[in-house]
Structure 1
Amino acid sequence: MAIATKGTVTIEGHEISISNPDKLLWPEAGISKIMYLEKLLQLAPYLLPYCKDRYLTTIRFPNGWSSKSFYQKNCPEPTPAFVNTAVMEGIQYVVLDSLATLIWLGNLACLEFHPSFHYVDDPLPAEWLIDIDPTLEEEPRIMQAAEIIGEVLDKLNIRSVPKTSGATGVQIYVPIQKGYSFEQLRKIGHFVGAYVVEKYPKLFTIERLKKNRGTLIYVDYLQHWYGKTLSAPYTPRARRYATVSTPLLWKEVAGRCDPREFTLLSIGERLSRVGDLIKQVPPQNLDPILRVVK
């Protein structure tokens, strides 16, 4: 992407001003704002489908990933005419449904994109996720934990896709058939969480309070709820290595891959090689397991 002399780019016919294109947003990785916007162009075909028609929360880092940040729920102003918004509970959220909107947000140093678990004006979940959240900042067992939960789901005839959070955790992503409620998915999540805690008490917990978890890995089935958010597949994360929340192959989990391998600098080659792994799993029928957990 080339910057015009007056500091603008044209995306989808819309002129967007670019401020401070040479500012380093990830100094350790050498990623400037203009490089970041170029990477967003590369990520857009993969990231946008998981943000479209959803309420978006972003995290902004005006001076780079390690500097002061703030959550942006209400749409930033002034708002270009091409940016769509939707109101939920009195908050006017951005609806990230176009490349132009993505680049506009990128220029505002939005380094993370967290969409709602449901579509605009729809009370039902769009997919199901279990968040595997380590208590320790460095957790060498995180891929083992993800593999165990993946095996449990597989035994329940539920196909799933692991993805790095881009931070310290892993999320298990399950495409689902339309019609299930958040309450139903929470019941299944509790069933899975309680099972792995019973079988692996030295590895897992479903204790919500972090101070009571010790060194155990938290199976967070509660985050998946109406109005809540989680890091989108393919969102960058404000971490030292410029990591990206990346769907994985189960064989990569079995090989104990390092989430820090998947970065803005490497993600393009990976996507050209493996594509969107989530799209390769059909929507799952959860009726059989729901009959059990009732």
Structure 2
Amino acid sequence: MKLLRYGPKGHEKPGMLDAEGRIRSLVGAVSDIAGDVLSDAGLAQLRSIDPGTLHIVGDNPRIGACVGHVGKMVCIGLNYADHAAEAGMPVPPEPVVFNKWTSAIVGPNDDIEIPRGSKKTDWEVELGVVIGRHAKYVDEAYALDYVAGYCIVNDVSEREWQIERAGQWDKGKGFDTFGPTGPWLVTRDEVPDPQNLGLWLEVDGHRYQNGNTRTMIFPVAKLVSYLSQCMSLQPGDVISTGTPPGVGMGIKPSPVFLKPGQTVRLGIEGLGEQTQRTRAAE
């Protein structure tokens, strides 16, 4: 299934995509794409519904983040060896973990705000992993059983705040609008191998990133297991699993960063696409 949320920001409604790519309303079936709805039992209930019996949503509504009430968005840094190389950083012996504040989460096609005074706002296409049930001290062999599904995340980053100012990476990762998520949550039964997905990103039609999740240093199962050793993961938590090479700060001889008035497009095989316009923060 491809699950989604549509409608004005803060008032999104649950929906699913039918075989023809039309949005079908799940209003009345579930309150949101969140919490226990993401469990195996919750997803099985949705799977039992004939999409043809659901109302078709017209008028091309805004698409919100594909998960509601996200408790935490946990991000992984330097999870592709070639991205670590372009960043001038060593390949990490264990996953590099940081947070993106939930206030950064927006819809897949919402605008990206360039923070006031920023000259180093960057892009990162990433595979998002949505947790479906409580996970704590999970064995890697069973880790994917705790995944509800997958989505696209653009891990937008302000590099000066991330790298050049004292403290943790979190500061440069959590600005408002820095976490476009969706358009869909694609359930794990439709993604038999999360380690073989092509992913790409373009700015103003120029392709900067073109990679595949098979080159991750730490695969999805390892990440879910690892994180569950140091925190409990809850239904609706999102793990953003790192980006392949081609980010703006790694471009030689001169880095390229986002500025207001540009268009960012990105996608992952089988998970859809995002399109954002950049604008100056008010």
**TM-score of the pair, normalised by structure 1:** 0.28
In terms of fraction of residues, the more helix-rich structure is 1
More strand by share: 2
Select the structure with the greater relative contact order (CA < 8 A; seq sep ≥ 6): 2
